[in-house]
Every structure is written in structure tokens, then in C-alpha cells.
Amino acid sequence: MSYEIMKKNIERAQQEINGKKDKVKNGKMRQHYHFMAQTGWLNDPNGLIYFQGKYHFFYQYNPYHGFWEWMHWGHAVSEDMLHWEYLPLALAPSESYDDHLRGGCFSGSAVEMDGKLYLVFTAATNEGRGFEQTQCVAYSEDGIHFIKYDGNPVLTAPKGVAKDQFRDPKVWEHEGVYYLVCGASHGNRAQALLYRSKDLYHWEFFSVLAESRGEWGSMWECPDFYPLGEKYVLTFSPMGAGDHTAVYFTGDFDYNTGKFDCRVTGEIDWGLDFYAPQSFQAPDGRRIIVGWSNEWEWMPQWKDWGPTYKEGWCGFFNIPREVRMLSDGTLQFLPVREIRALRKDVWDRDELAVTEDGVALSAGDGICFELMMEIDLMETNAGRLELDLRCGNGRKTACVFDFENAELRVDRTNADGWSEGVSRSVMYLKGKKGLDVHVFSDQSSLEIFTDQYRNNHSNNVFAPSEQNLLSIRAYGGTAVIKDIMTCGLKDACHS
């Protein structure tokens, strides 16, 4: 009976999608090469996995409206992480533990066992005792149609953990045992709890993998844990930790004790729109992460849920990034190489001297483009360098390299008449001869990577297509730019 209820709810949601998708796809703010849902609201990436020869992206989804409510799991597949085929929804609310307007099938992950694809997800409901979050399992023979396990939920909040602060399970297998890391809040301090199982259904508590002592907020959303070389990486999005939206810890882990010894911490992205990243392993061994191009703590500043809400949708994913570790334990986050296949109209220049007079640049249509360059720090004597993107109608988004104050700022205050906020990060240049810069622009977003992809800013900008100019200007001297490459980026396919 429960399977029939979920099937009915999925069919109803699919009718809603089919009735709106043709209109929604023509929205003026729709992205051209970033992953989006067909209609409605999208947030966290879920269940990212390479399974049966294809990349599978699942995602938090409200197919009915362009705002958060009654969470489903959307599903799409791709052979290159660029061109996507939408599949039927994987999960819909259908049970007492997940069927609630302000709840549903929350975030989770996917894992393969015995040739089947399993989804482990947080169920959220309120049956009169306040909101409760539990961990549940669904499985599929074909990787498309899923059945919820009759014995759900398989995990409930342990003693001392708030029942509405226990979510986002990430599962992996190691030497025949399955492990699960889950976000929790204990005494208003964040924890990553570690469990283990032999069959995905019966779990035992193993350890507190890591926890905040007050400095990292009250709740860690969407924790992820994986090996990288000889070290291990813990990532999460902390709640109540100020400007931190997606952070990483690197260090050592012991499977005998379940303890993680953190040695290095850092930011995955300093931008206002990067949250809840989840990783998976590509068939060639690369560790890939994908983030939601938005952020909860910024949401109250939105007006009517943002410009895209008026077009019947909201939310997309950041560009997938490959994670690499340097010798000092810090991480790099490189846009996946597959995106190079979208390049067109490539323009190169060896060197450019920039003064306060400024220089106009050309990159594709000025909307969907890629820009790479290196600032020659040995030859530059300017106090700051400003790269202005998506300019026109008196508006712009300013990317400021402030050499005097060792700060990188991305200012969208005058970007589109609607967006707000300035993202900031330290720009550490001591002993460096050059600073690499890599920019990706799409219809509604800017992703800026610097310092070997360790200092990154992702910000949504809802500028109309008439804002398609870009320029660069130096203040207080001359800036020397080397190895400049710009190009347009073709549309990716969502079918």
C-alpha cells in the first residue's frame, strides 16, 4: 500500500511538472550550463553517484512552487555532467514519518549494494510532538523506481540530540562495512555522528566523528566524509557560524576507533551562494563535489523568494568541482574538465597593462563565458585591481583585488537592482609572483576561483541579458595581466 501511495504522489507531481515545464524553460533568468530542475524549487544535491554507466544527480525538490515546501527527490542522469536527462521523481512524501507540508523527504545520499541502488534519506514530519527527523532507506533494482523500506525509520535521534536537528545522512562502504555520518545538534553545539552497518538497515552508533566546541556553530548540515590520498576530509555547512557557509577539515582517521583528528580547516567557497556540497567518486577516481547555489541564512533577505520565483522556479547547482589536496593539507576545488567541451570563440592575449583608464574585455556574449588570467604581482604596482562583470545600464558586479589590504571582494550591491551583499576573503600574496584568476559567468551566477582554486567566491546575480559588458581597471598604479583567455560557453542540454 505504501508503495502505491508514493507512486500516486509521484504521478501527481509529474503531471504538475509536465504542465509547467515548457513555460518555465523560457524564463529570462534560466541558466544555460548549470544544472537546474524543470520547474519549482531546488535546493540540496542528494545521492550523487556514478551508477550503471551514468552520473546520477538527485536533488531536494518542490515540483509545485518556486519556494521550499513538501520535499521530494528529483532525479536526472548524464554521461558528462553537462547534458542531463530528467527521470521520474525518485521519492515523494507518502508515510507518517515523511508526509508533512513543512517536511517530506529531506537530504541524504546514495550507495550501491549487491547491484541495487539504495537511497538513505532524512524523513521529516510532525505528528503533534513537534518536528521530528529520522533516517530512512529506499531501494531500486533499476536505479529509477524506488521502494521505501517497510522497517523505516532505521535511525532515530540519540539521547541528548534534538529530534528536529538530526539529518542529512551520507553513506559509504569500507571493507564490507557501511558507514553513515549524520549532522546533529547536542546542547546547541554541532556534531557529526558516525554509525556503521552490515546491511544498510540495522545501524549501530560508532562515535562522535567531530564536534563544535562552540566555534563552529550549532548544527552541521549535509556533512560528508571521504579519503583523499592518505588523509581524510570532513565537509559541512555550519549553522550559526557567521559568514561560513561551506567548510572543510582535513586530517587523519582511524577505522578502529572511529575518531577523526583534524589538522587543517578551510573554506570551500567564500561566496554568498554555495551551500550543502556533496561529493562522489567518478569512475576515473576523481573526487567530485557539487553545491547548491544558494544559502539558507541569506534567504530572509530575498524579496518574494527572488526574481526566478516569478518565472516558476528557484535554485540550481554550482559547477561540479574536483577536489585535490596539496602538501600542506589545504584543498583545491577545480571546475571539472568536462566543461571545456562547451568552449567557443576562444580569444587569447599574452600580456595587458591596465591603468586607471581601464580596458574593455570581450568574452563570448558577455553573459555565458569563461575568463582566465594571471596577475603579475612582480610587475604590478597598483593598489587595487577591479574586474567589472555583467555591466550595463549603470550596473555591474565588481570583483576587487585589493593588494593594499590583502582582500578579495565580490560586490553585487549594484548588480541588478535587487541583489545585495559583498563576499570577502583574505588574499594571501606573500612570496607569490602571480595570482591566477578563473571566472565562470552564466545567466544568473558568477563563480570566481583564485589562488590555485583555494580562494573561491560563488554569487548569484540576476542581471538581464542587456548587461553583457566587462572591463578591468587599476587604481593607484599599473597592473600587469598575463596569459589572458576568454571564451563563450555553449548551452548544455536539459531534456
Q: What is the pLDDT of residues 317-375, one digit of tens each?
A: 999 999 999 999 999 999 999 999 999 999 999 999 999 999 999 999 999 999 999 99
Please give the pLDDT value at position 296. 72
Please give the pLDDT value at position 312. 95
Task: Indicate if the pLDDT at residue 253 is higher than 70.
Answer: yes
Across residues 71-92, what is the average pLDDT? 98
Q: How many CB atoms lie within 10 A of CB 24?
A: 19
**For residues 236 and 223, is the Cβ–Cβ distance under 8 A?**
yes
CA torsion 343-280-493-469 (nearest 10°) is -40
Domain boundaries, the chain: 2-335, 343-489
Q: Which residues are catalytic?
A: 44
Q: What is the pLDDT of residues 16-30, one digit of tens each?
A: 999 999 999 999 999
Please give the pLDDT value at position 299. 59
Q: What is the pLDDT of residues 105-150, one digit of tens each?
A: 999 999 999 999 999 999 999 999 999 999 999 999 999 999 999 9
Please give the pLDDT value at position 285. 98
**CATH number assigned to the domain covering 2-335:** 2.115.10.20
Task: Indicate if the pLDDT at residue 300 is higher than 70.
Answer: no
Provide the 8-state DSSP code for 309: G
**Among the ranges given (134-143, 233-242, 288-297, 365-374), the one the predictor scored with the smallest mean pLDDT:** 288-297
Please give the pLDDT value at position 170. 98
Strand order in the sheet with 72-78: 84-86, 72-78, 54-62, 40-51, 313-314
State in Å, rounded, how far the first CA of the chain is from the last one.
32
Strand order in the sheet with 189-197: 161-174, 177-186, 189-197, 203-211
Task: Indicate if the pLDDT at residue 1 is higher than 80.
Answer: no
Provide the 8-state DSSP code for 103: -
Give me the residue label for grid cell 507518517: 96
Amino acid letter, residue 349? R
As a whole number of angstroms, the distance between CA 211 and CA 161 comes to 13
Q: What is the pLDDT of residues 338-347, one digit of tens each?
A: 999 999 999 9
Q: What is the pLDDT of residues 143-194, one digit of tens each?
A: 999 999 999 999 999 999 999 999 999 999 999 999 999 999 999 999 999 9
Buried b (16+ CB within 10 A) or exposed e, 214-242: eebbbbbbbbbbbebeeebbbbbbbbbbe
Please give the pLDDT value at position 450. 98
Across residues 457-477, what is the average pLDDT? 98
Fold entry, domain 343-489:
Jelly Rolls (2.60.120)
Quick check: pTM over 0.85? Answer: yes
